Structure 1
Amino acid sequence: MPSRLVHIPASSLHEPSLVLKESILKSEIPSYATLSYCWGPPSDTKRQLRTTSHRLKEFLTAIPVALMPPIMRDVVDVCRSLSIRHIWIDALCILQDDVRDWEIESAEMGEIYRHSLLTICTPSSASCLQGILGTRDNNNIRLNFKSAVHPHIMGNLVLQSIEPEASTHRSFAHQHPYLQMESSTWATRGWTFQERYLAQRILYFDRRMISFECGNGLQAENGFSRDGNPLESAETIEQFTRGHVTKHVLYQMWRESIIREHFKRQFTVIEDRLPSLSGLANTILKFTKDTFCAGFWKGDITYSLLWGLSPPENHRISLSELLSSFETSSFIAPSWSVYSRQGAWISWVVGGFGPGTDWHITAEYDNLSTNLVAEGKNQLGRLRNDSMLKISARRFALGSAHGMMLDQIESEPQPLFHIKSQALNSRIAECRLDFDPLSSTEHSDLDSLSLVLIASSCGSTDLAGSKRGPDLEAETPQSGCETCQICAKCEGCVWKKGYQSEAWQGLATLDGYEFATVMLANDGGCGRLHEPCSYCFHCQACHYGSNVSARHAWGLVIVPARSLGESVFRRVGVFTSRDDGKAGGVRLFEGKNLEQLSLA
């Protein structure tokens, strides 16, 4: 139940007013709507009607409709027409001059939107000064029609323009409402992201039509309809809360859908990036009991840390500029969090080779802990600049002293580079850097950089995802093959356990032997999904089970943060080193002891 709601009288002759949670709970808890809208540029925001500490008492008596901006007036009319007597509007229901109240309420936004009867979304409005019930965009042409065959049949023909993006969707009988919605200002703003994902039922007011969306589908005013939850990520979250999908699926959705989309959103106050996700994170946290780590989840931290950055050309900066930004810019998140960066496209792929779950990613570190200090009352919101991640891991120092050099990959867009060993005359790693070494004389200066091993993956998988190995041609079972120990709870290799089950989705044959090629469904009881490695059914074992050095390596590129103390580093890139049977993969870190590192 929100701390405050706006009460809307049935008659327009009476003014709305604020009501407090304490007084509401004395009677029946009411249904309420929520509003998702854009405040607009600073010049419009200044004219927004807002509740402050000194106006709270006044608004508990009445909120004059005449003082409301157009969007609030229209929403009050919509709620009154739908017989909804209460609505939550952030500008009115949060004390805008009270930082503590804002922090507390922003942390609860997930529950506020999730439990509302209806969320009114306003893609047609880019500002609080723009209403949603005004004149619509009308790109239709209406023609009088009279049948030449049956003269008694007459009426109108309406020709409707279709957006360019819709031309490829030949199955659309009507224009998809998302075509206008996704190009709206509302769909680009940071705070509206979680509001849409958390809402159970949404009423959209677009420039051309009204549409309604819920977990069962979407229905638009122009006749367009679609069954099923239009938001796959929202459906995944809902299915997880009901116990229908595993954490594995939830974490992957969080990385691939939630983070990627939210990362692109725009903010008037850039420090709001994490707070604007905290409501959604808090909803998931209540079910996972996991730890939220500056945009990531601790239970998925091994994958999450391995993000790569692809900044547009006009956003590429040198290493010194990147390090300077950590000291001078407004602090949002530690350098290992994607939210410490802006203006870029992110992925979990380096040079076309991503740490996918089908390569048996295994953590290569010990004693990972986070020291994330909230700046205020919202524990999932803004962080203090002394927040860190501590980890025991193996580190490989680069630089000319070790005979290493950067070698740009010409076929790839900057800043993807090879790390080349001059001694071996071979490339030992690929890295996607958060800076552009070619933007200054730094392109040959690696003396301050190190590679930190975070994870390894099954060396039986090549770039294309097919299986490889030196002994696959054996005509007889190998001696000494070890079981592929993937899951302790399953007590052994799940492939042996599930070979005969219907859960197998695909098999491949190579030299007379069968190998798993695609993901296996949840293997009863252990609560995680299992993925294929080079498991030979003839040998009943993984060929690489006894060869721990034959693994691809994944990790971070770091640089010392000398102003913060000894063994404190900042992340400045991500790398992968593929097993080549020589010096690549985890072999690169042979002889390196675990070091206690702090990542700021």
Structure 2
Amino acid sequence: MLILREWIRDCDEHSSCKPPQTILPTRILDVGTPDCPEVHLWDPVPEGTIGKYVSLSYCWGESPEFTTSRANLEARKAGITVADMPATYQDAVKLTRELGLRYLWLDSLCICQDDAADWERESSKMLSIYSNAYLTVSAARAKNTSEGFLGPRIKRTFVELLYTRDGLQQSVLAFNLPLQQELLKEKYIDLGDEPLSQRAWSLQERALSSRTLIYGSEQMYFECHEGFKGEDGLCLDEPENPQSLYWLHRLDLEGKSETDLLHEWSFMLTLYGPRSLTCASDKLPAFSGIASLYAKKLNQDYLAGLWKNHLVEGLMWQSLSFRRVEEYRAPSWSWASGDGIPPFGHIGEYNEIAEILDAKVTLKGSNPFGEVTDGRIKLRAPMEKLYMMTENFDPEAPGHFPYDNNVNIRTANGNQEGFHSRFDFDFTADDAAQEALKIVKSLENVDIFALFLSIDRHGLKNEVDESGTYFGLIVKRVGDTEMYKRLGFVLCDKEDIGRDLEKGGKEDYHTVTLV
């Protein structure tokens, strides 16, 4: 507790991270005095009430049971016995009290979990809740609420070393440092092995917080806008690579160009995409706080994870380690329709060849960054029918790259040897071969097309390539309509296509609607 108090004191005195006394959330837990056996849910908090509070970031576990509902709301207000709470909640109450603070925000208790309207309204406030907290406590080491975060930790092994100084023989205790983290300091900040780092909601909870106290498996860490510290003396405050050590800079978007903002947005998606969700429909809500922050800076409409003024670029996300979910949570053209890494596809400059005619989404509720029930993008672009080259197709054959187990495709007039397809599935997974075969079988007797969106004339070394690389989507028609669903993406050149798409007019472009 002494080192924690020192960290907070130094942060209060030497940085701008300390949030001012801010307006309390709609509901808050009043933890009372240190010896009080109960805490009380304060509901509703009078509008405009000022106070300091701790917010908790933690793993719920598979089946969270200790929640607030409409049925027990009054009982929660009357009092909650601390001893009846899960260990993680008890630890959070204890820590809040020892810091001399009165209020604690816990999502499972401060949001009515069985009231859809209340959940949507309160979950849309994550930006203000976490950014205004005096301190966010991250129970990074705990897989669920029953484990807690203040218990015994992995013990270090010390070796006694003798040395002589000024004629006196003395000894010191030394311990091993993890080689990978010492070589790549960002590995400390990533906390990739901690259970909480695998969860989707925790990304924005950590990114939006002004400062965070992290309880890891081996030690405690403290991070803020000024740096990252550990109990063992680790101190990272002057990163050589701001993107690798992104957490030290958080979401400081002031003064950045639109291009830089979009690049950082893409980077955030690579961090968020692979993280897991207990409820698949939370994919957009769990990122809504970060999205709302970018929306203010970009001053653009948000369409199920894409930005309206940059839809062509947004549509070209590449599905890496990607898996679609069975239930609907976003249109097929949105990265939110599945889980995995969806970075933007372009490295250098590119020319758009598709023309966006209309775009809209239907929200499930009132949160513009939350769940959607429908989304459509109408555009005009060149299309080519694709043919899968299934003869002698063997997804288990060894290849140079993981995506080689995709079936090759060709156009009617292009290179008859075909070229790589990149269907949306996890081609790095153990079951990649089975998934590739499943996709091929599901598309038997189904017409598929390449819908071309742009051309990139800059290679990996940013050298100009006159022939260029075309970026497009693999799509299939929905019934007899002019609506199409995304199946994957494709990269090819004019020889693969059999013609130069930029020559001639746009009279042969197709008008389609992506859903």
Range class of TM-score, shorter chain: 0.7 to 0.9
Q: Which amino acid aligns with 1:72?
A: Y
SS in 2 for 1:23: coil
1:12 matches 2:35: yes
1:555 aligned residue (472, 475, 492): 472
Indicate which of 33, 38, 43 corresponds to 2:59: 38
Q: Is the 8 A contact 1:202 1:212 kept in 2?
A: yes
**Aligned residues between the structures:** 476
Alignment match of 2:150 (pick from 125, 133, 136): 133
Q: Which residue of 2 aligns with 1:481?
A: none
* Cα distance in 1, alignment partners of residues 251 and 178 from structure 2: 32
Distance 2:169 2:296 in 1: 60
Q: SS state of the match for residue 336, structure 1?
A: coil
1:251 equivalent among 255, 262, 283: 262
Report 1:489-568 matches (<5 A). Answer: 552-562=469-479, 566-568=481-483
Indicate conservation of the 8 Å contact 2:139/2:196, yes or no.
yes
Which of 1 and 2 has greater Rg?
Answer: 1
Are positions 1:388 and 2:376 aligned together? yes
CA shift at 1:35, angstroms?
0.4
Asked whether the 8 Å contact 2:137–2:214 carries over to 1, the reply is yes
2:423 counterpart residue number? 433
- Tell me the C-alpha RMSD between the 2 structures: 3.5
For residues 581 and 137 of structure 1, the distance between their equivalents in structure 2, rounded to whole angstroms, comes to 56
Q: Rate the CA distance shift 1:415–1:336 in 2: closer, same or farther, 3 A.
A: farther
| Residues 23/137 of structure 1: CA separation in 2 closer, same or farther (3 Å cut) | same
Query: Within the alignment, does 1:368 sit opposite 2:379 as a pair?
Result: no
The answer on 1:158 being equivalent to 2:168 is no
Cα deviation per residue 1:118-157 (whole Å; 9 max; x = unaligned)? 11001121111112211121032254x66567785545x3
- Are residue 574 (structure 1) and residue 482 (structure 2) matched? no
1:387 offset after TM fit, Å? 2.7
- Partners of 1:389 and 1:51 in 2: how far apart? 39
Picking from 201, 206, 214, the partner of 2:211 is 201
Using a 3 Å threshold, how does the CA distance of structure 1 residues 591 and 85 change in structure 2: closer, same or farther? closer
Could you say which residue in structure 2 is the equivalent of 1:332? 329
Distance 1:297-1:237 versus aligned 2 partners, 3 A rule = farther
SS at match of 1:373: strand
User: Who is 1:596 aligned against?
Assistant: 511
Equivalent residues of 2:413, 2:497 under 8 A apart: no
Alpha-carbon shift at residue 215 of structure 1 (Å): 0.6
Structure 1 partner of 2:432: none
The residue type paired with residue 35 of structure 1 is L
Identity of aligned residues (%): 22
CA deviation map 1:322-342 (0-9, x unaligned): 8xx7xxx21111111122224
Distance 1:77 1:367, change over 3 A: same
Q: CA deviation at 1:586?
A: 2.1
After TM superposition, the structure 1 = structure 2 runs for residues 30-429 of structure 1, keeping only pairs within 5 Å, are 30-42=51-63, 45-46=64-65, 49-141=66-158, 143=160, 153-154=169-170, 157-163=172-178, 165-166=180-181, 168-169=183-184, 177-178=188-189, 181-228=191-238, 233=246, 238-240=251-253, 242=254, 244-255=255-266, 257-311=267-321, 329-342=326-339, 344-348=340-344, 354-356=345-347, 358-370=348-360, 372-384=361-373, 386-399=374-387, 411-413=400-402, 414-416=404-406, 419-421=409-411, 423=413, 425=415
SS in 1 for 2:252: helix
Aligned pair in 2 of structure 1 residues 113, 149: CA closer, same or farther (>3 Å)? closer
Q: Structure 1 unaligned runs (5+)?
A: 316-321, 349-353, 470-549
- Return the offset for 1:305: 1.0
| Segment drifting more, 113-122 vs 429-438 | 429-438
Rounded to whole Å, the distance in 2 between the matches of 1:154 and 1:24 is 61
Is 1:571–1:599's contact at 8 Å kept on the other side of the alignment?
yes
- The runs of 5 or more residues in structure 2 that have no matched partner are 1-22, 426-434
TM score, norm. by length of structure 1: 0.71
> 1:509 corresponds to which residue?
none
Q: Secondary structure at the match of 1:125?
A: coil
CA deviation vs aligned residue, 1:189-247 (integer Å, no higher than 9, x gap)? 1111111111110111112221110011011111000114777556676432x2x1112
CA distance, structure 2, for counterparts of residue 283 and residue 584 of structure 1: 43
| More strand per residue | 2
Q: Secondary structure at the match of 2:410?
A: strand
Pick closer, same or farther for the CA change 1:158–1:124 going to 2, 3 Å: farther
Compared CA separation, residues 69 and 237, structure 1 to 2 (3 A): closer
